[in-house]
Amino acid sequence: MKKVKYYYSTKTQQFEPLKVPIWKKLLHVFGILSGILVSAGIIVAIAFQYLQSPNEKRMNTQLALLQEKYDLLKKI
């Protein structure tokens, strides 16, 4: 159940329920979503910088094998 928030009105000198406009709610949601997207973008950028994809790993192993074969051919 939602907790009702109140504010003190100086005109009526009593506490009245706080009514938040819909645009403030949307702005709050938009702010949270944009923060999530920026954080996700930073994490993905760091991950692509330091971690290899499976295709890159396969290509590196093939390169190492080809270099070993080339070194063996140079010795002969």
| Distances, alpha carbon 19 to alpha carbons 6, 31, 53, 69, in Å | 9, 20, 50, 75
Backbone angles phi, psi at 9, to 5 degrees: -90, 125
Q: Which helix (H) or strand (E) holds 6?
A: strand 6-9
d(CA 40, CA 6) in angstroms, rounded, equals 36
Query: What's the whole-model pTM score?
Result: 0.61
6-42 pLDDT, tens digit each: 989 999 999 999 998 999 999 999 999 999 999 999 9
17 in Cβ contact with 4 (< 8 Å)? yes
